[in-house]
Amino acid sequence: MSPATEPNNGERWHVEPGDVLLVTDIQYDFLSGGRLAVAGGDEVIPALNRYIDEFVAHGQPVYATRDWHPAGHCSFHEQGGSWPVHCVAGTSGAEFSSSLKLPPDTTVISKATLQDQEAYSSFQGTELGSRLRAAGIRRVFIGGLTTDYCVLNSVKDARALGFEVFVLTDAIRAVDVRPGDGKRAEEEMARLGARFITLDSLSP
């Protein structure tokens, strides 16, 4: 890891008013046995559950995004896209993992819902940005799947919208279609001003 993506730089962090936790795409199709299984994807769930506990304990909101494609979405191989069929709205593969302990008042954001448009960012074509603004959010803490697609593109948009961004290094995994994609995504997020944190540096 290059210095900029080294977690924490010795800094501690804690949850404050104005913070949101953005849990990205913890859906069966991205997990082991799924149609677009991400290596190590399941490993982020226990970490995310601990982040969730921390945000709930501080009364701060949790948002969960889901890839939510129509059948025949343009991103599928059959349509000339890059991916196997995955996360088709309403199917079991698109459901959140039952191991993920989302609070009852979680706000769910569905993305990439239009047939002819790929949308890796959770902000693209959704109400996420306006909802976070309306809720007075200043800092976005993002974890989940996948580092090199949804997390990267969501971080880009969050930074462009003026949010501070913290990437949960111990709760993300990459698809790595090309080896090193995840690492390069982390470097790009660092260039954009995102900071990298882990549970280890949570203030006691």
Binding at 122: pick from Zn ion, ligand VGL, none (beta carbon under 5-8 Å per type)? none
How far is the C-alpha of 103 from the C-alpha of 52, rounded, in Å?
A: 8
CA distance 102 to 108: 10
Applying CB under 6 A, among 5, 106, 146, 169 the residue interacting with ligand VGL is: 146
> Which backbone phi and psi does 66 adopt, to 5 degrees?
-140, 140
Nearer to Zn ion, 7 or 41 (CB): 41
Question: Quick one: 187 exposed, middle or buried, by C-beta within 10 A (0-12, 13-18, 19+)?
Answer: middle
Name the residue among 143, 53, 144 with its Cα closest to residue 103.
53
Q: According to DSSP H, which parts of 38-194 are helical?
A: 44-57, 128-134, 152-160, 181-191
183 part of the active site? no
Rounded to whole angstroms, the Cα distance separating 90 from 95 reads 8
Of the pair 150, 190, the CB lying nearest ligand VGL is at 150
Round to whole Å and give the CA distance between 198 and 25.
Answer: 19
Among 63, 68, 83, 163, binds ligand VGL (CB under 6 A): 83
Q: Which of 19, 87, 148, 150 is catalytic?
A: 150
**Using CB under 6 A, which residues numbered 19 to 38 contact ligand VGL?**
25
The Cα–Cα gap between 48 and 34 comes to 19
Other residues' Cβ atoms within 10 Å of the Cβ of residue 200 = 10
Active-site residue 176, yes or no? no
CB 163, min distance to ligand VGL, A? 19
The nearest distance, CB 92 to ligand VGL, in angstroms, is: 17
Contact 149, 172 (CB under 8 A): no
Tell me, by CB under 5 A, how many residues bind Zn ion: 1
Q: x/- string (CB under 6 A) for ligand VGL, residues 102-141?
A: ------------------x---------------------
Which amino acid type is present at position 48? L
Residue 149 binds ligand VGL, judged by CB under 6 A: yes
Q: Does 67 bind Zn ion (CB under 5 A)?
A: yes
- 111 included as an active-site residue: yes
* Contact footprint for ligand VGL (CB under 6 A): 25, 67, 83, 120, 145-146, 149-150
* Contact footprint for Zn ion (CB under 5 A): 67
Which sequence positions are flagged as catalytic?
25, 111, 150
